[in-house]
Amino acid sequence: MLKLKHHQYGYLFVAPFIIGFLVFGLYPVVNTIVLSFTDRTLMSSSYSYIGLKNFQNLFADSTFTTAIKNTWQLWLMNFIPQMGIAFLLSIWFTNNRLKLRGVGVWRMIFYMPNLMMASAVAALFFSLFSFYGPVNQFLVRSGLLAEAIDFLRKPAIVRGLVVFIQWWMWFGQTTILLMAAMTAISPSLYEAAVVDGAGTIQMFLKITLPLIKPVLIYILVTSLVGGMQMFDIPYLLTDGRGSPGNSILTNTINMYMKFHSSKGHIGAASAVGLVVFVMTSVVALLIFFLLREKHDQSAEADR
């Protein structure tokens, strides 16, 4: 009791976070799990538990499998070049031998797209690539096209736009995180490696990568979570249905469509959310397992 009285102000200060997490974080997750096993709809006051029927209907629906495949493809297509270019830029900007000028200005320029609202960016690209938009006007007037093209009805073009927007908005933040991790590495390690005759690639693989591993785990997991929740860009770029031909239909758009169907099937939408949650959690744990420190692996082996 004396300890509790001594630390009572500490509990008071952390109470807002705990209450907020329980109400807005934990409760929605638990409620979604419960609703995924029911036939609850928006227009019904009562519901009953139906077991795994929502999940059976879900995996029997080709639209759901298409949404999962699209989500993974769109995320990987923007994340791989995002990491590659971010690595390249961060190495250039932190290299003491290059001594590039205006690094702070370039970092600001690359990070600026991340400050823009995704809905505003989607609306901008929708206007640019619409049938009567500036892109078609320029191409037709300059003689590069005989007639205007409906870009937003071409699956390959629409997928390319979604990938480009996702990459363009987030590669700046990834660059800054990698730069922060690389600048925290002691220069003496690289100097010792140079004295021992190590090359640039060897120093990157043996010094840089192992020491920035915690930041890499953070980037991978946060990007994975964001990629699995991809909604606003593909939804607002077309008609909100993942068109054309469900080419940019994602998990969250599929969940939104089930929630806003004629019956408003909350149970089916919750089942989609639960599958995405489990899938994301499993992959995130796999990332942690594969990228964990070697001393953690040896400690487990000793046990």
pLDDT of residue 6: 64
Average pLDDT over residues 149-161: 90
* pLDDT of 18 strictly over 70: yes
SS3 49: strand
Cis previous bond, 244, omega within 30: yes
pLDDT of residue 295: 52
Task: Assign 135 a pLDDT band (cuts: 50, 70, 90).
Answer: very high
Q: Average model confidence (pLDDT) for the chain?
A: 86
Q: At what angle do helices 213-228 and 266-290 cross, to 10 degrees?
A: 160
Given this model, what pLDDT does residue 118 score? 87
Domain range list for the chain: 14-121+148-302
pLDDT at 79: 93
Q: Tell me, what's the pLDDT at 204? A: 86
State pLDDT tens for residues 198-225.
888 888 888 888 899 999 999 999 999 9
Q: Can you tell me the distance from the alpha carbon of 253 to that of 235, in angstroms, rounded to the nearest whole number? A: 7
- Lowest-confidence range among 69-83, 100-114, 128-142? 100-114
- CATH number of 14-121+148-302: 1.10.150.120, 1.10.3720.10, 2.40.10.340, 1.10.260.40? 1.10.3720.10
Tokens at 102, concatenated:
């205006």
pLDDT of residue 26 exceeding 60: yes
Q: How confident is the model at residue 1 (pLDDT cuts 50, 70, 90)?
A: low
- For residue 261, give the 3-state DSSP assignment: coil
Please, are residues 132 and 152 in contact by the beta-carbon 8 Å criterion? no
281: pLDDT strictly greater than 60 = yes
Q: Which residues contact 256 (CB under 8 A, 6 or more apart)?
A: 231, 235, 269
- How many whole angstroms separate alpha carbon 299 and alpha carbon 157? 50
